[in-house]
């Protein structure tokens, strides 16, 4: 129910007690805005004085209608009070509006700070190149939680392909060198996401090769095409024993596995080819002789045997075909690991012996 804002007391008694009774309720009234006394000519000076005191204690009354022109002078102070209340009411409205505008501005500032904080948290710093990049351009490694920028990720994966490093380990984990927590392996989906079509083909090729060469239940051989040399699966031991013609899935070169030859003897049986081969074994013997005379080394990796020549540098060698680390002096196997700490440990252990040196000693060192 709305409050009454205008009061017209038309039946006040002529006695001062009537105006006094009205005056007693005015200080506590919080809704009265206008008091009309024009219909009460009987209010005397005593009543006016009582009303004057009570109206001064009221903070909502704005309009006052006196009951007699002769008493207008006596209402002067009351009118002043009403004017004060009007001014206070106007000032309160202005203050309320200013407070609302201030609160709105504070809310906007808080929203701006929240958005700025969001932007700050959405910008990450790459631990490899130290550049800042948006969070939606993150190369995130789920296995360990590390984040690097897309550009560094693409370059790192491309380098892994060029060096045939498998599996591809998190660069941040590798840099940490924590022996108790091995580096995380980057998933295939993440690797392929930063590669173009050619890079994806090459990586899947490396995965297939390592899957073949690391499975003890599968027999494989390397393509006999000297320009290819990729691992080709022959099947289980039983299946491989009866195999003759083999086709490389990469270059489609064909050879006879039973005759252990680089070509397929089309139009002749294996027996006929073997007879012909015995008559031409001198060619193979010359190849082996050349390898021995030139000092070439065959990779000691499992089922590899790639012929490798060193022209300069240290004696620590890395086979590009199977990823085996070995010594060029003795041909000894070091490791097939891609973890830097394990590679360094294998090199340190091997070359601390007296018979092998990591770096070749010049022939004239003792003549100086």
Read off the pLDDT of residues 269-326 as tens digits, 9 standing for 90 and up: 878 877 777 777 666 677 677 777 777 888 888 878 788 888 888 889 998 888 899 9
Average pLDDT (24-44) is 66
pLDDT at 262: 77
DSSP letter (8 states) at residue 186: P
Residue 204 in this model has a pLDDT that exceeds 70:
yes
Least confident piece of the model among 55-69, 150-164, 247-261, 327-341: 55-69
Distances 223 to 19, 193, 287 between C-alpha atoms, Å: 120, 29, 18
pLDDT for 158: 92
Q: Quote the pLDDT of residue 107.
A: 72
pLDDT per residue as tens digits for the range 157-183:
999 999 888 889 999 988 887 777 888
Phi-psi region of 267 (alpha: psi -120 to 50; beta: other; left: phi over 0): left
DSSP secondary-structure letter at 306?
A: -
CB contact at 8 A, 156 and 165: no
Mean pLDDT of the chain: 75
Asked whether the predicted pLDDT for residue 249 surpasses 60, the reply is: yes
d(CA 206, CA 220): 15
Retrieve residue 318's tokens.
């890395």
The residues pairing with 221 across neighbouring beta strands, listed in sequence order, are 232
Q: Is 72 within 8 Å of 99 (Cβ atoms)?
A: no
Mean pLDDT of 131-157: 85
Q: What is the per-residue pLDDT for 102?
A: 63
Q: Measuring CA to CA, which residue among 158, 138, 157 is closest to residue 146?
A: 138
Higher pLDDT, 50 or 367: 50
What mean pLDDT comes out for the span 219-244?
79
Q: Is the pLDDT of residue 13 over 50?
A: no
Residue 12: the pLDDT is 44
Q: Give DSSP secondary structure letters for 7-73.
A: E--TT--SSHHHHHHHHHHTTT-SS--EEE-TT-TT--HHHHHHHHHHHHT-SS--EEE-S-GGGTG
Q: Which residues sit opposite 65 in a β-bridge?
A: 36
């Amino acid at each position: 129910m709305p409050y009454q804002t205008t009061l017209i007391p038309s039946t006040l008694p002529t006695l001062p007690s009537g105006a006094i009774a009205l005056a007693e309720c005015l200080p506590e009234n919080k809704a009265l805005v206008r008091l009309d006394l024009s219909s009460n000519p009987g209010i005397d000076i005593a009543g006016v004085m009582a009303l004057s005191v009570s109206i001064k204690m009221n903070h909502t009354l704005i309009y006052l209608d006196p009951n007699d022109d002769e008493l207008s002078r006596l209402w002067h102070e009351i009118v002043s009070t009403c004017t004060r209340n009007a001014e206070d009411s106007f000032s309160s409205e202005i203050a309320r509006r200013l407070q609302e505008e201030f609160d709105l501005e504070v809310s906007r500032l808080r929203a701006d700070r929240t958005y700025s904080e969001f932007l700050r948290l959405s910008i990450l710093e790459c631990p490899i190149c130290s550049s800042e990049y948006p969070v939606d351009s993150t190369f995130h490694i789920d296995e360990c939680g590390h984040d690097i920028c897309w550009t560094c990720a693409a370059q790192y994966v491309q380098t892994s392909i060029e060096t045939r490093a498998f599996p591809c380990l998190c660069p941040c984990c590798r840099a940490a060198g924590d022996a108790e927590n091995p580096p995380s392996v980057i998933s295939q989906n993440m690797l392929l996401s930063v590669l173009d079509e050619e890079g994806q083909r090459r990586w899947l090729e490396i995965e297939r090769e390592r899957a073949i060469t690391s499975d003890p239940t599968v027999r494989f051989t390397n393509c006999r095409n000297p320009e290819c040399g990729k691992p080709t699966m022959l099947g289980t031991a039983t299946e491989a024993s009866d195999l003759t013609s083999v086709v490389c899935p990469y270059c489609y070169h064909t050879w006879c596995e039973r005759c252990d030859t680089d070509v397929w003897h089309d139009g002749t049986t294996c027996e006929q080819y073997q007879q012909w081969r015995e008559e031409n074994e001198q060619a193979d013997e010359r190849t082996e002789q050349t390898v021995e005379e030139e000092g070439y080394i065959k990779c000691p990796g499992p089922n590899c045997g790639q012929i490798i020549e060193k022209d300069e540098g240290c004696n620590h060698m890395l086979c590009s075909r199977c990823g085996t680390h070995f010594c060029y002096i003795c041909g000894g196997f070091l490791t097939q690991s891609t973890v830097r700490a394990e590679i360094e440990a294998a090199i340190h252990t091997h070359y601390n012996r007296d018979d092998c040196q990591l770096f070749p000693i010049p022939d004239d060192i003792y003549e100086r």
